[in-house]
Amino acid sequence: MTALATLILMIFPVSMAFAAANDLFTMKIPNRISLALVGGFVAIAVVTRMPLETFGIHVACAFCVLALTFTLFSMNYLGGGDAKLMAAGALWMGGAHIGEFLAFVTIFGGALSVLILGYRRMIPVSVSFPPWAQRLHLAGGPIPYGIAIAAGGLMLFPATELFLSIMV
């Protein structure tokens, strides 16, 4: 494929890494990250001449994940940025990998939660930390789930048809 396709393909890993870092340090995932993922997917679909039915399956997966994550958001189980990031990530996974994506995000989310809960129990509050680390230390405080979403997406991305169609 072309250098342009390779460049567009890099939007996914860069955006996911940026979302994870943003969530860790600020507990927010800006909308522009999810919008970059959606725009990048549309661009790569055009450049690779993705069949319309394949494009539709990718979009349907994203909307299903958005409906699920929006429900979790409305019940206060997930942040709004996390919900949008997960749907944007699902857009890149498509029907062939959506189950694996959800499984990886769940596994990484569980591991992240255990790690942060251990951090809250094992590290004394009296230790001087930067503000972002102090925020993670708050009992009952939020978990930066964007890290798990990014990890799940990055773990699976090299196996997706989009990646393989350009990089192989």
Q: How many domains does the chain have?
A: 1
Range of the domain at 151: 3-167
Distance CA 112, CA 116 (A): 6
Distance, CA of 120 to CA of 75 (rounded, Å): 24
As a residue count, the chain comes to 168
Burial of 105 (0-12, 13-18, 19+ CB in 10 A): buried
Give me 46's structure tokens.
């055009």
Interatomic CA distance for residues 23 and 165, integer angstroms: 31
Q: What is the pTM of this model?
A: 0.93
Per-residue pLDDT for the chain (168 aa), expressed as one digit of tens each?
A: 688 888 999 999 999 999 999 999 999 999 999 999 999 999 999 999 999 999 999 999 999 999 999 999 999 999 999 999 999 999 999 999 999 999 999 999 999 999 999 988 887 776 678 888 888 888 888 899 999 999 999 999 999 999 988 876
